[in-house]
Amino acid sequence: MIDYIGLDYFADSSKRVYWLYLLTSALIAVVYLYNRPKRLLYAVSQKILWHKSARLDYLYFILSVLIKVAIVVPVVISSGDVARWVYTKMALNFGYVRVDFSYESVMILYTLSLFIVSDFTRYWLHRWLHTVKFLWRFHKVHHSARVLNPLTFYRVHPVENFLFGLRYALSSGVVTGVFIFVFGGILDTWDILGVNGFVVAFMAFGSNLRHSHIALKFYKPLEYIFISPAQHQIHHANKTMDKNYGGSLAIWDYIFGSLAFSKDTKIGRFGLRQSQMGDYDNILKLLFTPFRRQQ
């Protein structure tokens, strides 16, 4: 059965809910709340993990895996196709170019470029999902979660999944095409567990706490650079959704004026306005409410 209906995600190091990332997030939470055990127990209590919204996340996660494999992935162009197109166009317009860097230097530069360009494009797509009225219809699905847990990450409408798949293909394809043109066809990334090393570092350091009730804060200077779990929770609060659009890096929020620090901002109630929540309380509504005219 496809991905064992999502169970394979927990064994895949490229997925947010890979078992090791869940474990490191849990360990970080225990250390962070060592002196505040009541907060830790509340975050993993039945009130949170068996809340109606959380149960909907679990069901929707299974459905989203099937939809992504059956519908979204087949219609998204591949990053390889984009890379070949970019390389061909550059070769036709600029001729032969080759820069002689060491293999190790190119590998680190390529890995870092993929990470930064991907994060930059993720920031802007996420921001447009909030600011473009038509796109906001679909992104509301993600923000309809009343409580947060790691599987809330997958409460995403198929239209949004398609857009993020397209974004990834374009961003990684353009970077790869440029690097092939400049440095030649032998490219490699600095990998950990078979995944971009910078991505693994982000996911291992508490990424699953972003969708949780554990408000892990970073020191303020660090929150200029990296989005802390508490900063992402600020983004999920219904009165501060226009803050902290960043994926891994807070730099884009700082540059473009959407940064909010965890020390200065109270984390409010998660979810949409109360009058809207009834439109997203079951799987069929999550899928079809965005297409309703009044949205």
**Does residue 23 carry a pLDDT above 70?**
yes
Q: Which helix (H) or strand (E) holds 192?
A: strand 191-192
CA atoms within 13 A on the CB side of 55: 7
Q: Are 143 and 200 in contact (CB under 8 A)?
A: no
Average pLDDT over residues 249-256: 98
Distance CA 103, CA 179 (A): 12
pLDDT of the residue at 73? 57
**Residues in the chain, total:** 295
Distance CA 131, CA 8 (A): 34
Looking at per-residue pLDDT, the higher value among 244 and 191 belongs to: 244
Average pLDDT over residues 256-265: 97
pLDDT of the residue at 75? 56
Give how many domains the chain has, as a whole number.
1
Query: Residue 86 domain-assigned?
Result: yes
Residue 56: which pLDDT band, with cuts at 50, 70 and 90?
very high
pLDDT of the residue at 52? 97
Highest mean predicted confidence (pLDDT) among 73-87, 133-147, 155-169, 193-207: 133-147
Task: Enumerate residues 6+ apart whose C-beta is below 8 A from 101.
Answer: 109, 183
pLDDT of the residue at 69? 65
Distances (CA, A) of 74 to 12, 64, 78, 108: 20, 14, 9, 31
Query: Residue 259 domain-assigned?
Result: no
Range of the domain at 191: 2-214+276-291
**Does residue 254 carry a pLDDT above 50?**
yes
Task: Give Rg (Cα) of the chain.
Answer: 20
Average pLDDT over residues 182-187: 84
pLDDT of the residue at 77? 75
Query: Residue 199 domain-assigned?
Result: yes
Average pLDDT over residues 3-22: 85
pLDDT of the residue at 2? 47
Q: What is the mean pLDDT of the chain?
A: 92
Query: Residue 208 domain-assigned?
Result: yes
Query: Residue 269 domain-assigned?
Result: no
For 197, the 3-state DSSP assignment is: helix
Distance CA 147, CA 180 (A): 45
**Does residue 1 carry a pLDDT above 60?**
no
For 223, the 3-state DSSP assignment is: helix
Query: Residue 142 domain-assigned?
Result: yes
Query: Residue 207 domain-assigned?
Result: yes
Residue 6: which pLDDT band, with cuts at 50, 70 and 90?
low
| Least reliable range by pLDDT among 50-54, 55-59, 94-98, 133-137 | 94-98
Residue 74: which pLDDT band, with cuts at 50, 70 and 90?
low
Looking at per-residue pLDDT, the higher value among 129 and 196 belongs to: 129
Token code pair at residue 135? 């796109």
Distance CA 165, CA 277 (A): 27
Task: Enumerate residues 6+ apart whose C-beta is below 8 A from 91.
Answer: 181
Average pLDDT over residues 35-40: 94
Query: Residue 166 domain-assigned?
Result: yes
